[in-house]
Every structure is written in C-alpha cells, then in structure tokens.
C-alpha cells in the first residue's frame, strides 16, 4: 500500500487567511523553521486506483501537485473513490471539486450521506448523471474492500471505527436527532490483502479508550489527530471560544493528552496530522516540537509518502 500525505494542516490551513499569530506570521515571513501546509488530505493505493481519505477544500491544488493522481488520458482519473470520515466542511468540501461528471465512489456512513445529499442541495451537482457519484454506505465495525466505480475490488480493505464526537456545527440539534450519533466521526484502519502493513487514519479524535488504543497498537503507521497542543489554545489566541476537547480534539500535551495516553504504543510509526496553525509543534525549533520528537512522534508535512 502506498500512502501520500497531500495536506497536513487542520481546517484553515497554515498559514490561515485571517491569522497573524506568531506561527502564521513566521511562515509567511519565512522567519521560522517550518513549512506552509494545506488542509488535511491523504491518498492511498494498492496499484492502479487511488482512494482519497476525505476530500479537503485544497483538493484541486493537492491533485495538481501529485503526479500519481493526475489523469493518464483525456477525461480520465486514477482517483476511484473517497472515504469520508465525517461531515465537517474540511472533510467534504473537496467532493464538490470533483463534480465534472466523472464517476466516483463515495464511502460514508448513512447519516453523513443523508446529511450531505438530503440537506445540502449543492451536492446534487454530484448526481447530474446516473453513475456519476456512487454513494456507498459504510457501517462502523464492518470491514469492506475498496472498489472502483465500475465495481472491481482493489486489494485494500478498510475497517471503519466509530469515535466519540458529534455532527458538525452547521447541523442543528433537531437535525442531529434524526441521525445516528455513532455515525458522526470515524477512524479508519486500512490494510492490503496482498500483505504489507496496516494504516490507522485518525485525524479527529475526541477521546481514547482501551479498545481503541489496542487497535492503534496493532497498526504499523498511525496518522493521528495533532490539532492542538493545549486544551485552551484557541481561547488564548482569540480571547474566547471553545476548548480543544469541546471541539472534538484531544490535545497533545498535559494530563490525559495524546502524548501521555499513547505513550504505551509499541508497534506503529506515530505521526501527527491535522495540525492547527496555532500549534507550536509546527516550529521545528520549539520546545513543544522537541518534546513530541523525544516521545517518538513525528510532525507531518505536506508531500510525505510511505509504503507499507
Ligand atoms: Zn495562526
């Protein structure tokens, strides 16, 4: 299995258009040891076909910057499908960028599929022709083989896992009550039935339990929620707002943070993705980045690739 990190930042990217924090200024002015990052996006393949893990608002530029994802003929694409782990705009806006009447398979839970297709009329642009988008319901805990729009299975098998956390902020309480809470946020465990290693893709994690930690420790590569360093990070910068945990993200540092909670992991290579522009680990010279590296973690950058 080939894995490419096309984007490693959280929503807003790095730098973010309306942010002049030390980090965003530092990357704009090239005064920090860091690099600009697009919004979180990963692509995987076991051969010819590529599958996207979510569809970021930066998807068009990410495809154009990645030779493997570019067409090999007129009106062709190696991108066969998209696996959606939630209904956040940062995870689904890119679907609308794939609207040029090209067959594509979209895997999502029934609740997220209903949320997008029934409640957001823009998404009708993906269904202008029969077979343009093949929405395929997935169920947490039930493994499935990734398949092309024509139906041929790839070697990749995915097990979606239900995580804690609710539907996005644009979903009102009344609408959320018509959806299944256990279908709001997924983590993905993916491996090839041709052998090789196992990938864990968990960009949004509100909490960890013993079962999830065991699953993560069975994987070879872990791409994990690195959104915030501290729980009150955004409040400190904005003067108000919600904590990391209230936004559905376990912070990295402090008691109960992911560094502490995942310190027992033995098997996987551990990489933080989905990094918010306020997170000090973005500065390679920061003490926070040093602490993360000392704990055996890496901080993802756009363009990293792996073979498992
Ligand atoms: Zn910033």
Q: Do 68 and 45 form a contact (C-beta atoms < 8 A)?
A: yes
Token pair of 200 as six digits: 């864990």
pLDDT in tens, 2-46: 999 999 999 999 999 999 999 999 999 999 999 999 999 999 999
Span from the CA of 37 to the centroid of ligand 1 (angstroms): 12
Q: Is the pLDDT of residue 238 over 90?
A: no
pLDDT (0 to 100) of residue 32: 97
Q: What value, to the nearest 5°, has the Cα angle with vertex 257 and ends 52 and 276?
A: 45
pLDDT in tens, 170-217: 999 999 999 999 999 999 999 999 999 999 999 999 999 999 999 999
State the total domains in the chain: 1
Instruction: Say if pTM beats, i.e. exceeds, 0.85.
Output: yes
Span from the CA of 12 to the centroid of ligand 1 (angstroms): 9
Range of the domain at 185: 2-307
pLDDT (0 to 100) of residue 91: 98
Span from the CA of 291 to the centroid of ligand 1 (angstroms): 21
Span from the CA of 10 to the centroid of ligand 1 (angstroms): 11
Span from the CA of 229 to the centroid of ligand 1 (angstroms): 13
Inter-CA distances, 116 with 112, 113, 126, 195, Å: 6, 5, 11, 35
Return the CATH number at 241.
Answer: 3.60.15.10
Span from the CA of 278 to the centroid of ligand 1 (angstroms): 5
Token pair of 171 as six digits: 């979903």
Question: pLDDT band for position 124 (50/70/90)?
Answer: very high
Span from the CA of 36 to the centroid of ligand 1 (angstroms): 11
Phi, psi of 39 (to 5 degrees): -70, 150
Share of the chain above pLDDT 90, in %: 97
Span from the CA of 16 to the centroid of ligand 1 (angstroms): 6
pLDDT in tens, 222-231: 999 999 999 9
Nearest to 232 by CA among 244, 218, 222: 244
Q: Do 70 and 62 form a contact (C-beta atoms < 8 A)?
A: no
Span from the CA of 152 to the centroid of ligand 1 (angstroms): 43
């Amino acid at each position: 299995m080939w894995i490419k990190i096309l984007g490693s930042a959280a929503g807003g990217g790095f730098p973010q258009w309306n942010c002049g924090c030390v980090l965003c200024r530092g990357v704009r002015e090239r005064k920090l040891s860091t690099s600009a990052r697009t919004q979180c996006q990963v692509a995987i393949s076991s051969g010819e076909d590529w599958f996207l893990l979510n569809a970021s608002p930066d998807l068009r530029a990410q495809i154009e910057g990645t030779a493997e994802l570019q067409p090999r003929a007129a009106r062709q694409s190696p991108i066969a499908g998209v696996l959606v782990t939630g209904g956040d705009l940062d995870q689904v806006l890119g679907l609308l960028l794939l609207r040029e009447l090209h067959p594509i398979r979209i895997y999502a839970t029934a609740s997220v599929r209903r949320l997008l297709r029934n409640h957001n009329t823009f998404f009708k642009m993906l269904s202008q022709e029969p077979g343009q988008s093949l929405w395929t319901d997935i169920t947490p805990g039930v493994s499935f083989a990734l398949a092309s729009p024509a139906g041929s299975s790839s070697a990749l098998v995915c097990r979606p896992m239900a995580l804690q956390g609710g539907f996005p902020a644009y979903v009102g309480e009344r609408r959320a009550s018509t959806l299944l809470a256990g279908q709001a946020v997924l983590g993905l465990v993916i491996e090839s039935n041709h052998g090789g290693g196992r990938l864990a893709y968990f960009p949004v994690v509100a909490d960890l339990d013993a079962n999830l930690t065991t699953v993560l420790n069975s994987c070879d590569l872990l791409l994990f929620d690195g959104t915030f360093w501290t729980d009150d990070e955004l409040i400190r910068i904005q003067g108000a707002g919600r904590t990391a945990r209230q936004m559905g993200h376990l912070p990295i540092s402090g008691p109960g943070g992911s560094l502490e909670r995942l310190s027992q992991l033995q098997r996987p290579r551990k990489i933080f993705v989905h990094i918010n522009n306020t997170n000090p680990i973005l500065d390679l010279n920061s003490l926070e980045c040093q602490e993360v590296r000392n704990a055996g973690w890496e901080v993802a950058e756009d363009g990293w690739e792996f073979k498992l």
